[in-house]
């Protein structure tokens, strides 16, 4: 069974119950993503207008229990090592919960800045894996913390420029193939740094528009399968370069909605698959950019509620589709 | 979760699954607790090392345990070991991660661990200056190319594997020639024209070969046009081929090249009158032409043709209709 509407109450319930799956092996095998999952769940709830569905104090306490005192940043779970991925999630959650005062911001900033490499890219942690994803995490987090002034912007932008390919897209490192998720991180980082002139808008717009497949879904690279998470990676980049109308939004909405679990809630990578909170967020986020009625505006640059970003004076010049009226 | 089918389960089946998983959960949590405690206590013993092997076998995404494993190696097992022993331990690590990659080819942390191992392979055997001083390192890196090729055989588009391949090629103590990398992309493209990852790699390798003069750019470029034109005729709906063609033409092409390619694609369009990519590409090259050579005699005809094609594309490819409308205002 599929639904033509977003089943908000069902998805809210699905997210609320995620923490209760402790007799499910998958729950434990994904502990390395716990803090990210809390961010995905909270943001999805906020975009659906139900941020209060999860207990605020409990959430803040959990985030703080992931603090890695030795490194001065956040791991994904209590007793896990600090990493940029989980550190960004922690900052995003605390900002959405208006609880940034609990954190030693100076130490987090020091941790983030220590990971920039001579080339300008960031490592994810002290073991040195590099990727433009980590660069985005660093730029996003520093911006949210109001500490972008301490970043070597030129070096950072130069690295991003070197990751740009002739098809207008960006890769994970210099020389890597364009990939929609890497396009999002690079374009969003450039947006935060006010350096969108590094993007070849028309070429990238073309490449992104060609991600839409006959079933309405989006893929991440040429000749690959569609996946709901690309609804966000592609759409966020399109909205930052103001080209969302270059794809068929109705067909994409239908595709995202067809990937819902209409019985137990949640959204999957594609119709008929197992749902997870990651695809639930990126499905809802995509729908918000497409102007789906009743949803809260999402900021595509930070992937957080637009009002939160506006309140901090961080809003950039992106363009989503106008919010449609709820039909009765 | 990617590509896992949702199956409707009866309450009985769910309960049976829970029963089955209970023991596994217990084992996992028990191991996990033990290791996190040992990590806190900086217990870098052989015993801790063995426990990390067990845990990572169950869950290769547990990055904290990979980190702990490296700390055990650096602080516990390497000190006091001969260089030969270190080399053997690292060979074991490479074997262990190879097995893990076979079942989890897209887990970043496994690839990451391999990088660390390779970078830590010691010099030897023998002293600095001896003939064999580079032997362990060379052997490890050479083998790495072999490994990554097996993984690309299993999934020719795995972008982690391609990224890793570029890393290996750039880091090998005895570099492999760019010409042999070019031959590798020829092989991968020959096996499947839709493999854009291989076309992408080819564009990077050719750029290097042209810049350093290994290949004559002019003749090599012509050979590429032959290859890609052949691919267009075989798979006119395949994006990979058209994207590569754009790279080949470049952003600042000469007048005659542009006209030649527009004509050649036009011939294919006559054979395939519904080919979106033929139309889209003619529009693309015509727009470049009009931008670079607006005063040329061919410009008026191309402008008219572009408008006509953009009208047709609006009907043929309605998903991207707005883009074609926007483009018309720029021509």
B210 at the A interface (CB within 8 A)? no
- DSSP annotation string for B19-54: HHHHHHHHHHHHHHHHHHHHHHTT---HHHHHHHHH
The answer to whether B75 and B66 have CB atoms below 8 angstroms apart is no
Q: What per-residue confidence (pLDDT) applies to A21?
A: 83
Kind and range of the H or E run holding B182: helix B178-191
Asked if B103 reaches chain A (Cβ–Cβ under 8 Å), the answer is: no
All residues at 6 or more sequence positions from A217 whose CB lies less than 8 Å from its CB, including other chains: A226, A227, A228, A230, A231, A252, A255, A256, A270
**Rounded Cα distance, A136 and A182, in Å:** 9
- Taking only the tens place, the pLDDT of each residue in B191-228 is 999 999 999 999 999 999 999 999 999 999 999 999 99
Mean pLDDT value across residues B237-266: 96
Contacts of B299 (CB under 8 A, 6+ apart): B289, B290, B293
Residues of B in contact with A274 (CB under 8 A): 1, 4-6
pLDDT band at residue B58 using 50, 70 and 90 as cut-offs: very high
Q: What is the ipTM of this complex?
A: 0.95
Query: Which residue on chain A is closest to B112 by alpha carbon?
Result: A129
Positive/negative CA dihedral, A151, A152, A158, A162: negative
CB pairs below 8 Å between A and B: how many?
143
Among residues 49-88 of chain B, which lie with CB inside 8 Å of chain A? 58-59, 61-64, 67, 70
Provide the pLDDT confidence category of residue B15 given band limits of 50, 70 and 90: confident
CA atoms of B60 and B68, how far apart (whole Å)? 13
Partners of A164 in the beta sheet? A170
CB atoms within 10 A of CB A118: 6
> Tokens 């935060």 sit at which residue?
A192
Which residue among A79, A212, A222 sits closest to B243, beta carbon to beta carbon? A222
The alpha carbon torsion through A258, A262, A267, A270 (nearest 10 deg) reads: -40
Q: What is the pTM of this model?
A: 0.97
Determine the residue of chain B that is closest to A227 in CA distance: B2
Please indicate whether, in this complex, the C-beta atoms of A29 and B59 are within 8 angstroms of each other: yes
Please give the pLDDT value at position B251. 83
| A304 CA: distance to closest CA in chain B (Å) | 22
> CA-CA distances (angstroms) from residue B121 to A92, A127, B101, B161, B237?
39, 16, 20, 21, 46
A127 vs B contacts (CB less than 8 Å) = 67, 70, 112, 116
Domains of chain A, CATH where assigned: 8-312 (1.50.10.20)
pLDDT at B111: 95
Local structure of B140: helix, strand or coil: helix
Q: How far is CA B254 from CA A166, B225, B293, in A?
A: 18, 15, 9
Distance CA A124, CA A108 (A): 13
Residues of chain B with C-beta less than 8 angstroms from the C-beta of A244: none
Q: State the sign of the Cα–Cα–Cα–Cα dihedral B201, B206, B207, B212.
A: positive
Q: Which residues of B touch A275 (CB under 8 A)?
A: 1, 6
Q: How confident is the prediction along chain A (328 residues), in pLDDT tens digits per residue?
A: 577 899 999 999 999 999 888 888 999 999 999 999 999 999 999 999 999 999 999 999 999 999 999 999 999 999 999 999 999 999 999 999 999 999 999 999 999 999 999 999 999 999 989 999 999 999 999 999 999 999 999 999 999 999 999 999 999 999 999 999 999 999 999 999 999 999 999 999 999 999 999 999 999 999 999 999 999 999 999 999 999 999 999 999 999 999 999 999 999 999 999 999 999 999 999 999 999 999 999 999 999 999 999 999 999 999 999 999 987 5
């Amino acid at each position: 069974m599929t639904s033509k509407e977003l089943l908000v109450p069902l998805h809210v319930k699905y997210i609320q119950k995620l923490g209760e799956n402790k007799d499910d092996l998958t729950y434990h095998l994904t502990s390395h993503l716990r803090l990210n999952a809390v961010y995905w769940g909270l943001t999805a709830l906020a975009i659906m207008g139900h941020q209060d569905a999860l207990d605020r104090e409990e959430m803040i306490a959990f985030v703080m229990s992931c603090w890695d005192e030795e490194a001065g940043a956040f791991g994904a779970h209590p007793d896990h090592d600090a990493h940029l991925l989980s550190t960004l999630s922690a900052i995003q959650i605390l900002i959405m919960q208006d609880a940034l005062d609990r954190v030693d911001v100076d130490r987090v900033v020091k941790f983030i800045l220590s990971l920039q490499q001579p080339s300008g890219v960031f490592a994810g942690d002290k073991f040195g894996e590099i990727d433009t994803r980590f660069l985005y995490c660093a730029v996003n987090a520093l911006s949210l913390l109001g500490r972008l002034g301490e970043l070597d912007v030129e070096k950072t932008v130069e690295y991003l420029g070197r990751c740009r390919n002739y098809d207008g897209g960006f890769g994970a490192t210099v020389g890597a193939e364009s990939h929609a998720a890497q396009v999002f991180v690079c374009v969003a980082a450039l947006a935060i740094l006010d350096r969108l002139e590094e993007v070849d808008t028309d070429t990238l717009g073309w490449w992104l528009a060609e991600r839409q497949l006959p079933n309405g879904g989006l893929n991440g690279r040429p000749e690959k399968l569609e996946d709901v998470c690309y609804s966000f990676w592609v759409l966020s980049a399109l909205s930052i370069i103001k080209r969302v109308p270059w794809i068929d939004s109705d067909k994409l909405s239908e595709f995202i909605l067809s990937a819902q679990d209409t019985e137990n809630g949640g959204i999957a990578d594609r119709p008929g698959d197992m749902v997870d909170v990651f695809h639930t967020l990126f499905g809802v986020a995509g729908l918000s950019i497409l102007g789906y009625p009743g949803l809260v505006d999402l900021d595509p640059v930070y992937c957080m509620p637009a009002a939160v970003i506006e309140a901090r004076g961080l809003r950039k010049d992106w363009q989503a589709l106008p919010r449609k009226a709820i039909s009765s | 979760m990617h590509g896992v089918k949702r199956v409707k389960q009866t309450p009985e089946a769910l309960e049976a699954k829970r029963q089955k998983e209970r023991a596994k959960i217990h084992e996992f949590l028990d191991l996990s607790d033990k290791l996190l405690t040992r990590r806190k206590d900086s217990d870098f013993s052989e015993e801790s090392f063995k426990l990390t092997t067990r845990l990572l076998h169950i869950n290769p995404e547990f990055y904290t345990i990979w980190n702990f494993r490296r700390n055990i190696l650096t602080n516990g097992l390497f000190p006091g070991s001969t260089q030969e022993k270190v080399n053997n331990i690292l060979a074991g690590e490479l074997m262990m991660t190879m097995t893990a990659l076979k079942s989890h080819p897209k887990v970043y942390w496994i690839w990451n661990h391999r990088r660390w191992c390779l970078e830590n392979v010691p010099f030897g055997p023998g002293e600095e200056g001896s003939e064999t001083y580079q032997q362990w390192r060379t052997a490890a890196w050479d083998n790495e190319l072999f490994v990554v090729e097996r993984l690309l055989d299993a999934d020719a588009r795995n972008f982690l594997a391609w990224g890793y391949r570029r890393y290996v090629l750039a880091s090998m103590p005895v570099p492999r020639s760019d010409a042999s990398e070019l031959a590798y992309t020829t092989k991968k493209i020959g096996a499947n024209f839709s493999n854009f990852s291989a076309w992408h790699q080819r564009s990077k390798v050719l750029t290097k070969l042209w810049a350093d003069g290994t290949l004559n750019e002019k003749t090599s470029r012509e050979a590429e046009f032959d290859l890609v034109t052949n691919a267009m005729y075989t798979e006119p709906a395949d994006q990979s081929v058209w994207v590569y063609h754009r790279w080949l033409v470049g952003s600042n092409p000469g007048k005659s090249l542009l006209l030649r390619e527009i004509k050649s694609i036009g011939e294919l369009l006559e054979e395939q009158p519904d080919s979106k990519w033929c139309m889209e590409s003619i529009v693309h090259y015509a727009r470049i032409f009009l931008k670079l050579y607006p005063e040329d005699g061919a410009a008026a005809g191309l402008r008219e043709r572009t408008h006509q094609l953009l009208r047709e594309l609006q009907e043929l490819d309605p998903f991207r209709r707005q883009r074609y409308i926007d483009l018309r205002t720029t021509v």
